[in-house]
Structure 1
Amino acid sequence: MPPKPVAPPTPDINDCCGNGCDPCIFDLHAAAMEQYRAELKAWLALAGQTADAGAGGPSF
């Protein structure tokens, strides 16, 4: 199983230069968080399938 995704670090308020950049560092962080959430959702689904694989109980 692949390693659990790690959330991107949150930029400090002082990391923004305040010049109205496009994209701003906070926009980039928001996009990285969207990607992280998608990867985490997929990882959790895979982890659930892996955990459930042997939990079927006896087969009669």
Structure 2
Amino acid sequence: MTESTLLEKPQPPADYECCDSACTPCVWDHYYAALKAWRIQQAELKAQQQDS
């Protein structure tokens, strides 16, 4: 992993942030993409710690 900013775990959208109108992209799409990036970064950090 290259030197990069440590991502904060994303918070799911609040109830009022999704309008249930099938928007593309939905606030949930953004949340799940951010959550995936955070999980990947966490796995990479864990792997680095185990290699040390």
Local SS of the residue matching 2:8: coil
Q: Look up the match of 2:35.
A: 33
**In percent, how many aligned pairs have the same letter?**
24
Q: After TM superposition, give the deviation of residue 3 of structure 1 in Å.
A: 7.8
Unaligned runs of 5+ in 2: none
Indicate the residue corresponding to 1:23 in structure 2: 25
Aligned-CA RMSD value: 2.0
Q: Deviations along 1:39-59, whole A, 9 cap, x unmatched?
A: 110011011222xxxxxxxxx
Long gaps (5+) in structure 1: 51-60
What's the TM-score once normalised by structure 2's chain length? 0.72
Shift in Å at residue 20 of structure 1?
2.0
Using structure 1 for the length normalisation, give the TM-score.
Answer: 0.65
Q: How many residues align?
A: 49
